[in-house]
Amino acid sequence: MSRAAPKLPVSLAANPRLSSWVKFDAKQVMVSPGKVEIGQGIVTALAQIAADELDVDIGRVRMVRASTAESPNEGVTSGSLSIQQSGRAIRQACAEIRQIFLAAASDRLGVEASALDIADGTIAGPGNVRTSYWELADEVSLDHDATPGAAPKAAARRALAGSSVQRLDIPDKVFAHRRFIHDTALPGMLHGRVLRPERSGARLASLNENGARAVPGLVTIVRDGSFAGVICETERAAETALGELRKGATWTGGEALPDESDLAAFLKAQPAESTVINTRLPTNIGAKASTLRRQYTRPYIAHASIAPSCAMAQWSEDRVHVWTHSQGVYLLRADLALVLKLPAENITVEHMEGAGCYGHNAADDVALDAVLLAKAAAGPPVRVQWSRADEMTHAPFGAAMAIEIEADLDAQGEIIDWRHSIWSNGHAARPGRAAQPALLAATELANPFPRMISSNPPQANGGGGDRNSVPLYDFPSWKIESHRLLTMPIRTSALRTLGAQGNVFAIESFVDEIAATRGEDPVAFRLRHLSDERARDVICAAATRAKWKPAPETGTGYGVGFARYKNAGAYCAVIAEIEGAEDVRVRKLTIAVDVGEAINPDGVINQIEGGAIQATSWVLKERVRFDSERITSNSWTDYPILRFSEVPAVEVELIQRAEIEPVGAGEAAHGPVTAAIANALFDCLGVRVRRLPITRDSLIAAIELAS
Amino acid sequence: MPSTRFRLNGVETEIDADPDRPLLDILRGQFGLTGAHFGCGSGECGTCRVIVADHAVTSCDTPLWSVAGKDVTTLEGLGSADRPHPLQRAFIAEQALQCGYCVPGILMSAAALLMQNPRPTETEVRSALDRNLCRCGAHNRMVRAVLRAANEMATP
Mean pLDDT value across residues A3-18: 88
**A372 has a pLDDT exceeding 90:** yes
**B107 has a pLDDT exceeding 70:** yes
Pairing status of strand A478-485 against strand A415-424: parallel
Q: CB of A416 within 8 A of CB of A285?
A: yes
Of B29, B45, B104, the CB nearest to A176: B104
Would the CB atoms of B99 and A234 count as touching at under 8 Å? no
Q: CB of A252 within 8 A of CB of A203?
A: yes
Would the CB atoms of B136 and A356 count as touching at under 8 Å? yes
SS3 breakdown of chain B: % helix, strand, coil, rounded to 5?
A: 40, 15, 45
Query: Nearest-5° angle of CA B133, CA A579, CA A704?
Result: 105
Residues A480 and A362 in one domain: no
Residue of chain B whose Cα is closest to the Cα of A309 = B39
Residues A15 and A106 in one domain: yes
Q: Which helix (H) or strand (E) holds A280?
A: strand A272-280
Q: CB of A49 within 8 A of CB of A90?
A: yes
Domain boundary among A126, A161, A196: A161
Residues A55 and A37 in one domain: yes
Chain B nearest C-alpha distance from A608 (Å): 9
A232/A194 Cα distance (integer angstroms)? 12
Q: CB of A443 within 8 A of CB of A491?
A: no
pLDDT band, very low/low/confident/very high, at A5 (cuts 50, 70, 90):
low
**Residue A225 Ramachandran class (φ > 0 left, ψ -120 to 50 alpha, else beta):** left
Peptide bond into A375 cis (omega under 30): no
Judged by a CB distance cut-off of 8 A, whether residue A613 touches chain B is: yes
A34/A161 Cα distance (integer angstroms)? 20
pLDDT value, residue A3: 54
Residue of chain A whose Cα is closest to the Cα of B98 = A39
**A283 has a pLDDT exceeding 80:** no
Would the CB atoms of A174 and B133 count as touching at under 8 Å? no
Whether A602 is covered by a domain: the verdict is yes
Would the CB atoms of A173 and B103 count as touching at under 8 Å? yes
Q: Cα-flanking dihedrals φ and ψ of residue A293, to 5°?
A: -130, 135
pLDDT value, residue A2: 44
CATH of the domain at A150: 3.30.365.10
Whether A91 is covered by a domain: the verdict is yes
Q: List the one residue out of B78, B64, B82, B138 whose CA is nearest residue B107.
A: B78
Higher pLDDT, A683 or A582: A683
Q: List the one residue out of A630, A294, A678 whose CA is nearest residue A489.
A: A630
Whether A500 is covered by a domain: the verdict is yes
Beta bridge partners of A404: A295, A421
Residues A137 and A207 in one domain: no
Q: CB of B93 within 8 A of CB of B144?
A: no
A550/A527 Cα distance (integer angstroms)? 19
DSSP type of residue B22: B
Q: List the one residue out of B37, B154, B118, B144 whose CA is nearest residue A385.
A: B37
Question: Taking the model in full, what pTM does it have?
Answer: 0.97
Q: Which helix (H) or strand (E) holds A204?
A: strand A203-207
* Residue type at A26 in one-letter notation: A
* Residue type at A388 in one-letter notation: R
**CA A220: distance to chain centroid?**
37
Q: What percent of chain B is predicted at pLDDT more than 90?
A: 97
Would the CB atoms of B40 and A636 count as touching at under 8 Å? yes
Q: Cα torsion for A73, A78, A79, A81, to the nearest 10°?
A: 50
Give the residue extent of every domain in chain B: 3-78, 86-154
Question: CB within 8 A of A401, min separation 6: which ones?
Answer: A267, A296, A297, A298, A422, A423, A424, A465, A499, A502, A503
Beta bridge partners of A61: A29
Task: Show which of residues 185-244 on chain A sit within 8 Å of chain B, judged by CB atoms.
Answer: 185, 234-236
Q: Cα-flanking dihedrals φ and ψ of residue A195, to 5°?
A: -90, 130
Pairing status of strand A397-398 against strand A382-385: unpaired
Would the CB atoms of A182 and B140 count as touching at under 8 Å? no
Residue of chain A whose Cα is closest to the Cα of B136 = A610
Residue of chain B whose Cα is closest to the Cα of A183 = B34
For residue A663, CA distances in Å to A595, A598, A667, B136 come to 5, 8, 11, 20
Q: List the one residue out of A572, A646, A556, A657 whose CA is nearest residue A611.
A: A572
**A1 has a pLDDT exceeding 80:** no
Would the CB atoms of B127 and A305 count as touching at under 8 Å? no
Helix (H, G, I), strand (E, B) or coil at A5: coil
Residues A205 and A342 in one domain: yes
Residues A542 and A513 in one domain: yes
Residues A486 and A377 in one domain: no
pLDDT of A69-96, one tens digit each? 999 999 999 888 898 899 999 999 999 9
Whether A56 is covered by a domain: the verdict is yes
pLDDT value, residue A632: 98
Mean pLDDT value across residues A233-238: 96
DSSP string over A45-61: HHHHHHHHHHT--GGGE
pLDDT band, very low/low/confident/very high, at B1 (cuts 50, 70, 90):
confident
Q: CB of A651 within 8 A of CB of A591?
A: yes
Q: Which residues of B touch A169 (CB under 8 A)?
A: 100
Q: Which residues of A touch B41 (CB under 8 A)?
A: 387-388
Strands of A299-451, DSSP E: 301-302, 310-316, 319-324, 347-351, 382-385, 397-398, 401-409, 415-424
Would the CB atoms of A647 and B139 count as touching at under 8 Å? yes
Chain B nearest C-alpha distance from A306 (Å): 6
For residue A252, CA distances in Å to A197, A200, A206 come to 9, 11, 9
Neighbours of A190 (CB within 10 A): 27
Would the CB atoms of B132 and A38 count as touching at under 8 Å? no
Q: Which residues of B touch A621 (CB under 8 A)?
A: none
Beta bridge partners of A576: A559, A589
Q: List the one residue out of B141, B76, B146, B88 whose CA is nearest residue B118.
A: B146
Helix (H, G, I), strand (E, B) or coil at A37: coil
Question: CB within 8 A of A536, min separation 6: which ones?
Answer: A527, A530
Would the CB atoms of A606 and B74 count as touching at under 8 Å? no
Would the CB atoms of B141 and A606 count as touching at under 8 Å? yes
Strands of A581-639, DSSP E: 584-594
Query: Nearest-5° angle of CA A157, CA A162, CA A168?
Result: 115
DSSP type of residue A146: -
Of B88, B129, B141, the CB nearest to A175: B88
Chain A nearest C-alpha distance from B78 (Å): 9
Domain count, chain A: 3
Would the CB atoms of A304 and B135 count as touching at under 8 Å? yes
Interface test with A, best of B38, B45, B135 (most A CBs within 10 A): B135
**B137 has a pLDDT exceeding 60:** yes
What's the mean pLDDT when you consider all of chain A? Answer: 96
Burial B82-120 (b: 16+ CB within 10 A, else e): eebbbbbbbbbbbbbbbbbbbbbbbbbbbbbbbeeeeeb
Residues A659 and A604 in one domain: yes
Residues A112 and A210 in one domain: no
Q: Which residues of B touch A670 (CB under 8 A)?
A: none
Helix (H, G, I), strand (E, B) or coil at A557: strand
Domain extent at residue A194: 188-253+303-393
Mean pLDDT value across residues A518-538: 98
A52/A54 Cα distance (integer angstroms)? 6
ipTM score above 0.90: yes
pLDDT value, residue A4: 61
pLDDT of A335-357, one tens digit each? 999 999 999 999 999 999 999 99
A530/A526 Cα distance (integer angstroms)? 6
Pick the CATH number of B3-78 from 3.10.20.30, 3.40.50.720, 3.40.50.2020, 1.10.3720.10: 3.10.20.30
Chain B nearest C-alpha distance from A554 (Å): 24
pLDDT of A289-333, one tens digit each? 999 999 999 999 999 999 999 999 999 999 999 999 999 999 999
Q: CB of B35 within 8 A of CB of B104?
A: yes
Whether A444 is covered by a domain: the verdict is no
pLDDT of B56-104, one tens digit each? 999 999 999 999 999 999 999 999 999 999 999 999 999 999 999 999 9
Residues A321 and A402 in one domain: no
pLDDT of A647-690, one tens digit each? 999 999 999 999 999 999 999 999 999 999 999 999 999 999 99
Would the CB atoms of B47 and A304 count as touching at under 8 Å? no
Would the CB atoms of A635 and B29 count as touching at under 8 Å? no
Q: Which residues of B touch A387 (CB under 8 A)?
A: 41
Q: CB of B47 within 8 A of CB of B105?
A: yes
Residues A195 and A334 in one domain: yes
Would the CB atoms of B133 and A611 count as touching at under 8 Å? no
Indicate if B86-154 has the same CATH topology as B3-78: no
Whether A37 is covered by a domain: the verdict is yes
Q: List the one residue out of A593, A565, A596, A592 whose CA is nearest residue A663.
A: A596
A695/A301 Cα distance (integer angstroms)? 15
Q: What is the number of CB-based contacts under 8 A between chain A and chain B?
A: 160
**Which is the CATH superfamily of the domain at B86-154?**
[2Fe-2S]-binding domain (1.10.150.120)
**A624 has a pLDDT exceeding 80:** yes
**A537 has a pLDDT exceeding 90:** yes
Neighbours of A203 (CB within 10 A): 15
Task: Compute the residue count for chain A.
Answer: 707
Judged by a CB distance cut-off of 8 A, whether residue A348 touches chain B is: no
Whether A629 is covered by a domain: the verdict is yes
Interface test with B, best of A40, A175, A193, A637 (most B CBs within 10 A): A175
Whether A267 is covered by a domain: the verdict is no
B127/B107 Cα distance (integer angstroms)? 14
Neighbours of A607 (CB within 10 A): 29
pLDDT of A141-170, one tens digit each? 999 999 998 999 998 999 999 999 999 999
A614/A606 Cα distance (integer angstroms)? 12
pLDDT value, residue A707: 77
Would the CB atoms of A174 and B91 count as touching at under 8 Å? yes
Q: Which residues of B touch A44 (CB under 8 A)?
A: none
Q: List the one residue out of A191, A189, A167 whose CA is nearest residue A38.
A: A167
B119/B109 Cα distance (integer angstroms)? 15
Residues A70 and A109 in one domain: yes
